[in-house]
Amino acid sequence: MKKRLYLELENCIGCRSCLAACTQCGGHEERNRNYVYDVNPLVNRQTMPLMCLHCVNPACARSCPAQAIQIHETGAVLSALVEKCIGCQNCTIACPYGIPKFDTEQNLMYKCDLCIDRSKDGIPPMCASVCPTNTLQWLTDEEIEAKQKQFNLDNGKWVTSMPYLEGETNVKVNLPGILQGVTKLF
């Protein structure tokens, strides 16, 4: 059963467990590849995670002169192949979400690979497996559809991937609660 990473952004409490878990994934060399942002840092404590959304047509890979960014058969856009990355940083400029990180010393780009050694076997990526508030979930397409139905209040406030992103993505993003006045029980 193919599962996807699914983000319910407003559940985030800013614990940064996903960042810590990311460092522990095999192949990540103890460095995290995702972000957690304060939405309005001087006013309240709302945070939101931001990770690679694994575009169906990834700008990073299209702009890579070395073919170092490969797309896995699961749809995950992989981190740069260490032997191919030439350190031009085109991908960091191309990515519409500013995700790829660059190590100047190692002359190497690294980015979220959806913990490919886990997710290729259906195991959730590290961030989703530790998230305490279900901000990051690992769901089948049917479950995501059910979520969409559950929150579809037909008031035009359903916030999901397409209009707020730059293209079709393999990770689905959703902001259902606050904007629709739904009370959630965690």
- Contacting positions for another protein (CB under 8 A): 9, 16, 19-20, 22-23, 25-29, 32, 35-42, 46, 48, 50, 57, 59, 62-67, 82-84, 86-90, 92-99, 103, 105-108, 116-117, 159, 164-167, 173, 175, 179
State the DSSP H helix or E strand holding residue 5, giving kind and residue range, or none if neither.
strand 3-8
Compare residues 4 and 127 and give the one whose CB is closer to another protein. 127
Question: Considering the complex, what minimum distance in angstroms separates the CB of residue 175 from another protein?
Answer: 6
CA 66 to chain centre: 24
Which bin fits 98, alpha (ψ -120 to 50), beta or left (φ > 0)? Answer: left
Angle formed at CA 65 by CA 60 and CA 67, multiple of 5 degrees: 75
CA–CA gap between residue 133 and residue 186 (Å, rounded): 7
Compare residues 110 and 140 and give the one whose CB is closer to another protein. 110
Compare residues 13 and 88 and give the one whose CB is closer to another protein. 88
Question: Considering the complex, what minimum distance in angstroms separates the CB of residue 37 from another protein?
Answer: 5
Question: Considering the complex, what minimum distance in angstroms separates the CB of residue 137 from another protein?
Answer: 16
Compare residues 4 and 99 and give the one whose CB is closer to another protein. 99
Question: Considering the complex, what minimum distance in angstroms separates the CB of residue 106 from another protein?
Answer: 5
What's the chain's Rg over C-alpha atoms?
A: 17
CA–CA gap between residue 172 and residue 144 (Å, rounded): 8
Compare residues 14 and 75 and give the one whose CB is closer to another protein. 14
DSSP letters of 13-25? ----HHHHHHHTS
Question: Considering the complex, what minimum distance in angstroms separates the CB of residue 20 from another protein?
Answer: 4
Residue 49: strand pairing partners = 36
